[in-house]
Amino acid sequence: MDYDLDRLSIIHYPDPRLREVCQEVTEFDDKLAALAAKMATLRRADKGVGLAAAQVGVPLRMFALNLTGEEKDEMVFVNPVIHDPQGSKETEEGCLSLPNIHVQVRRPARCRITAQDLKGNPIELEGEDLLCRVWQHEIDHLNGILILDRMGPSDRIATRKTLKEMEAGYQARVSA
């Protein structure tokens, strides 16, 4: 997979790359580690807690997250899969690819994740509340799913104008 780390930035809706289903990571090398580091830098700059590779235009099954902002709490999940979702909780979510959009999303409140780290070693963790929510949100990105696909009718109405403006801005940029 070819990409220029220096040119990577967070892409915004309605960029069609956000709808791509990402490919499984098969090479665990320095290039993957450099991508993860760049993603963490971009995420921190935009004050986000999670960022999927799809959100920087790289269709690989990987995301970085940090719930505390402390460097020691940086986590990267490669080829992640959610297991054993339990309960249900509706909470407001935002997204770095949808600036200024915050909608209510219902998700399982507790789950388990399996993945690999940047060296290909297995990861298995259980999480709840925000951690579980971020895992699910980022895995949605890896499957081409956005919070827009999970919001209810009232949020659809409330965000319509902002989304139309984002769509018009994107069209103007790609047409220029």
Supply the residues annotated as catalytic: 138
The number of beta carbons lying within 10 Å of the beta carbon of residue 77 is 26
- Write the DSSP string, 32-53: HHHHHHHHHHHHHHTT-SEEEG
Strands 75-86 and 62-65: antiparallel
Which residue has tokens 């665990």?
A: 28
Burial degree of 17 (CB within 10 A; 0-12, 13-18, 19+): middle
Q: How far is CA 64 from CA 8, 90, 161, in A?
A: 15, 23, 30
Is residue 61 within 8 A of residue 78, CB to CB? The reply is: yes
